[in-house]
Structure 1
Amino acid sequence: MAEITEIFILKMKDDPKVDAIREAARKDFVTLDGVTSWETLVTTDQSRQTLYADIFTFPDHETAKRVTPEFAKRPSTQAFLGQIEEMVVGQFFEAHQPKTSE
């Protein structure tokens, strides 16, 4: 089965503690069996609103579907969810396999 990447594009509240809250949530969530990683990227264009891409990886789709609901149940991740101003998108992704015509 293909590795699953879950990507959330977020606008965050303006709280100076958001990085510490995200890091506490990350340390907790990646301890769950089935969470391979959690990476955060941030936009660089300072003339536009800052967006964050929180990227989670799981070994397969079944594991992702099983583990993802735990995110909203854990105190540290609930605290992180409270820092989100707007979720632009959140969805599961896998590597694109081009279709070949024969």
Structure 2
Amino acid sequence: MHHALLPALAGLLAQPAVLARFAELSGGDEDWNRRLAAYLRAERDLGRLAPGARVDAATSMIVGACHESVLSVLFQGRGIARQVSADMVDDLVEAVLHGLAPQRPRQGG
């Protein structure tokens, strides 16, 4: 989806008033990063994520992955963003949910 937005994003960067209006229309005071973090906290509170889940870190990882496909291409001057495959999304979810460290054996029984 981000690849379709890149041409519009490039034009918006030069229009501060348009950017401000876009921000108003897309959630006002609470940006989508905070809404994502709130969603993850709610999932944690419902027991669908670990009680100690680091929601802010997970939010940063997810947001970073979303922006990477656009910004890396934008800064390299290559036109539209690259497509992200479903497998890459699955890999991101796996990394966010299960981390990168090796699994430790459970202590006790």
- State the TM-score, normalizing by the size of structure 2: 0.25
Question: Rg bigger for which structure?
Answer: 2
Task: Judging by fraction of residues, say which structure has more strand.
Answer: 1
**With structure 1 as the length reference, what TM-score do the two structures score?**
0.26
Higher helix proportion (structure 1 or 2): 2
Greater length-normalized contact order (CA 8 Å, ≥ 6 residues apart): 1
